[in-house]
Chain A
Amino acid sequence: MMQYASLLIALPLFSAFFVPLIKRAGKKLILPYLTLVTLIQTGIAAWAFKEVYTTGKPIIVLAGGFQPPVGINLYIGHFAALFVLIIAVVSFFMAVFSMKAIDVEPIDKYAMLFLLLMLGATGMIATGDIFNLFVFMEITAISAYALTAYNKTREASEAAMKYIILGGIGSSFFLVGVALLYGSLGTLNLAQIAMIASKMNPAVAQAALALLVFGLAVEAELFPLNAWAPDAYQASPHPVTVMFSAFVVKAGLYAMVRIVYLFKDTPAFMGILNLILILGTLTVVIGELSALRQTNVKRMLAYSSIAQIGLIAVGFGVATPHAVDATVFHMLNHAVVKALMFLAVGYVGVTVGSPHMENFKGLGKRMPLTAFAITVGAISVVGIPLFNIFWSKFKLLLAALQVGKTGIVALILGASLVEAVYYFRLIHTMWFEEGKGEKVEEELALGVIMLLLVALIIVIGVYPEPVWNLVQKAAADLYNVANYIKNVPLLGVSL
């Protein structure tokens, strides 16, 4: 029964290969096919989620039946189950949105890359082997490069080029880190690395982890390797932007945190945490300040998203159990909110031409539902009570206070203040400024998706307890490395 979880990887991969056959049958069928595949993926992910959370045990898939560390294993624990579900649901929504938003040919290539992007992010979160992680990272990255360039405009090519160059540097760094780890420990299995991590020379471990962190910082959008992100967010097709913000960057962050936390009990850990704290803080400051002076709403949201990612990195850098709980909660909330906002802004972009601030004047009269969705998202990001991000920011604040890091408290409050400035400006533009244009008939399917996400934001905001309980389990999966080692059936190792 457990082996069925490998379908999470196999289904998008094989479906991507079948896209050319579907194209034979008719071009119109490609996007419905994409929607169907993502819907099935959502079903499998929901099954895995239910299985993991009811039994309380992770699903371990052994590739080819070989026991790790000889074979590669997938590890779908509480964290992976939750985020694989988020990936599948967001992909499904975006497949629906693609029907409206994508009119550039070749649509079959788009569907293929879309599935591969979903596959890569799922694999990064589910794998239990560091080189397999690299392969999935490259699958994600290469399909992301191609999707960024998909619109074939000047900006799209330029953004993709920046992304490719930074991604190439990042993947080389990552591989050097893997070489250092393998050279000193002789294994690539994450659980086994964690088990024998203390045998590694601390200086080498620190160098290897720093290289891995820098390598993953490209995908995780941490300063200074995030220069590609605003350009790519702005230039790529709207559904792809949602996917970048909602889960590709989360997969990168997860991989980084998973690898770093494997070294929790070694002397190298503190130094790396400081590195992550510094990178995260710089990301927040630069992201928020750049967001302030944007006139393109999509680019503004991109910077805001980067700043939130910085906050998540800071939370992981604090690394107490409370902070990790709050951070995973923030990751979940951020995925929901940014999926909603990029979807709504992308929809405006599709309808009126470009997501420039000009076009948002008087949007409340022309597209009331979309404007309402953007407003709820904006209020939530700022951290107003009764909306979901309030709780995660608040819990992160408490966790930072607990360990006496007042600098982080100031950072979170300052970031919220800056966010309030530019988001309230956007809300003001939408509702209180006169704009021209007729009222637009809003698409039913997209309206339903937006209302669902809005409802989720408010429900989590009013009743945070059930989700908070889920998230605590997911965070424990990240933090409790001893449990992680115990759950993976390593060959010839008895504990």
Chain B
Amino acid sequence: MISAYYFGAISLILIGLYATLTKRNLLKILVGLSIMETGVNLLLISVGYVSGRTAPILTEGATPQTAVDPIPQALVLTAIVIGVATTALALTVAINLYEKYKTLDIEKIRGLRG
């Protein structure tokens, strides 16, 4: 059962990596990066998942025996925030690039060489 989660997460990572490495449109590359990040986050969550347990939130009746591992969830929260920051910055730079080069095709954005 757990291996299905791993399989899904790793396929997302690979899809994202494929898009990042092969696409020519800058926005598609950034979408690829986001997909990859999502895959990594899912992988982290599934590492801490225990079948049949609830969310690790301190409510009535919740004990360490009935909740899943909270650490990966804390990590993923942090990773999501970092991912949002990176994506926002990347999109800003993409806007800048579009203004300068009038294109989003990375084959044509080649001011720096050697």
Chain A residues proximal to chain B, CB less than 8 Å = 131, 134-135, 138, 141-142, 145-146, 149, 152-155, 157-161, 164-165, 167-169, 171-172, 175-176, 178-179, 182-183, 188, 230-231, 234-235, 290, 293-294, 299
Alpha-carbon separation in the docked complex, A135 to B83 (Å): 11
Min CB distance B38 to A, Å, is: 10
Min CB distance B108 to A, Å, is: 11
Question: Contact at B82–A138, with CB atoms within 8 Å?
Answer: yes
Question: Contact at B89–A164, with CB atoms within 8 Å?
Answer: yes
Q: Which of B55-94 contact A (CB under 8 A)?
A: 71-72, 75, 78-79, 82, 85-86, 89-90, 93-94
Q: Which residue of chain A has its CB nearest to the CB of B85?
A: A142
Question: Contact at A176–B90, with CB atoms within 8 Å?
Answer: no
Alpha-carbon separation in the docked complex, A159 to B111 (Å): 9
Min CB distance A87 to B, Å, is: 22
Q: Which of B30, B36, B71, B114 contacts A294 (CB 8 A)?
A: B114
Q: Which residue of chain A has its CB nearest to the CB of B41?
A: A175
Alpha-carbon separation in the docked complex, A160 to B111 (Å): 12
Determine which residue in A159, A165, A179 has the highest number of CB atoms from chain B within 10 A of its CB, and name it: A179
Question: Contact at A161–B85, with CB atoms within 8 Å?
Answer: no
Q: Which of B1-53 contact A (CB under 8 A)?
A: 13, 16-17, 20, 26, 29-30, 33, 36-37, 39-40, 43-44, 47-48
User: Which residues of A sit under 8 angstroms from B112, Cβ to Cβ?
Assistant: 155, 158-159, 230-231, 234-235
Question: Contact at A142–B111, with CB atoms within 8 Å?
Answer: no
Alpha-carbon separation in the docked complex, A60 to B89 (Å): 34
Q: Which of A152, A160, A179, A235 contacts B40 (CB 8 A)?
A: A179
Q: Which of B26, B47, B86 contacts A142 (CB 8 A)?
A: B86
Q: Is the interface of A mostly helix, strand, loop or mixed?
A: helix
Q: Which of A145, A172, A175, A176 contacts B89 (CB 8 A)?
A: A145
Question: Contact at A165–B111, with CB atoms within 8 Å?
Answer: no
User: Which residues of A sit under 8 angstroms from B111, Cβ to Cβ?
Assistant: 154-155, 158
User: Which residues of B sit under 8 angstroms from A158, Cβ to Cβ?
Assistant: 97, 109-112
Alpha-carbon separation in the docked complex, A9 to B28 (Å): 37
User: Which residues of A sit under 8 angstroms from B33, Cβ to Cβ?
Assistant: 165, 168-169, 172
User: Which residues of B sit under 8 angstroms from A293, Cβ to Cβ?
Assistant: 114
Determine which residue in A141, A153, A182 has the highest number of CB atoms from chain B within 10 A of its CB, and name it: A182
User: Which residues of A sit under 8 angstroms from B36, Cβ to Cβ?
Assistant: 168-169, 172
Min CB distance B40 to A, Å, is: 5
Question: Contact at B78–A165, with CB atoms within 8 Å?
Answer: no
Q: Which residue of chain B has its CB nearest to the CB of A145?
A: B89
Question: Contact at A157–B96, with CB atoms within 8 Å?
Answer: yes
Question: Contact at B43–A169, with CB atoms within 8 Å?
Answer: no
Min CB distance B4 to A, Å, is: 16
Alpha-carbon separation in the docked complex, A176 to B89 (Å): 23
User: Which residues of B sit under 8 angstroms from A135, Cβ to Cβ?
Assistant: 78, 82
Question: Contact at A165–B97, with CB atoms within 8 Å?
Answer: no
Chain B residues proximal to chain A, CB less than 8 Å = 13, 16-17, 20, 26, 29-30, 33, 36-37, 39-40, 43-44, 47-48, 71-72, 75, 78-79, 82, 85-86, 89-90, 93-94, 96-97, 100-101, 109-112, 114
Min CB distance B35 to A, Å, is: 10
Can you list 20 pairs linking A and B with CB atoms under 8 Å apart? A135-B78, A135-B82, A149-B93, A149-B96, A158-B110, A158-B111, A161-B90, A161-B97, A161-B109, A165-B30, A168-B37, A168-B86, A171-B82, A172-B13, A172-B37, A175-B44, A176-B40, A230-B112, A230-B114, A231-B112
Question: Contact at A160–B86, with CB atoms within 8 Å?
Answer: no
Task: How many A-B residue pairs have C-beta atoms within 8 angstroms? Tell me.
Answer: 104
| Beyond A135-B78, A182-B48, 7 additional pairs, beta carbon < 8 A | A145-B89, A152-B96, A154-B100, A155-B112, A165-B30, A172-B37, A175-B79
User: Which residues of A sit under 8 angstroms from B78, Cβ to Cβ?
Assistant: 131, 135
User: Which residues of B sit under 8 angstroms from A160, Cβ to Cβ?
Assistant: 93
Question: Contact at B86–A164, with CB atoms within 8 Å?
Answer: yes
Beyond A138-B86, A152-B96, A157-B97, whether A176 also contacts B29 by CB under 8 A is no
Q: Which residue of chain B has its CB nearest to the CB of A174?
A: B40
Question: Contact at A182–B72, with CB atoms within 8 Å?
Answer: yes
User: Which residues of A sit under 8 angstroms from B20, Cβ to Cβ?
Assistant: 165, 168-169
Beyond A164-B90, A164-B93, A234-B112, whether A188 also contacts B40 by CB under 8 A is no
Q: Which residue of chain A has its CB nearest to the CB of B87?
A: A168
Min CB distance B92 to A, Å, is: 8
Q: Which residue of chain A has its CB nearest to the CB of B106?
A: A161
Q: Which residue of chain B has its CB nearest to the CB of A299?
A: B114
Min CB distance A227 to B, Å, is: 10
Min CB distance B86 to A, Å, is: 6
Alpha-carbon separation in the docked complex, A178 to B20 (Å): 22
Min CB distance A223 to B, Å, is: 16
Alpha-carbon separation in the docked complex, A179 to B76 (Å): 11
User: Which residues of A sit under 8 angstroms from B72, Cβ to Cβ?
Assistant: 179, 182
User: Which residues of B sit under 8 angstroms from A138, Cβ to Cβ?
Assistant: 82, 85-86
Alpha-carbon separation in the docked complex, A131 to B78 (Å): 10
Alpha-carbon separation in the docked complex, A294 to B114 (Å): 7
The 4 closest A-B pairs by CB, nearest first: A168-B33, A183-B47, A157-B96, A154-B100
Q: Which of A142, A155, A169, A175 contacts B17 (CB 8 A)?
A: A169
Min CB distance A294 to B, Å, is: 6
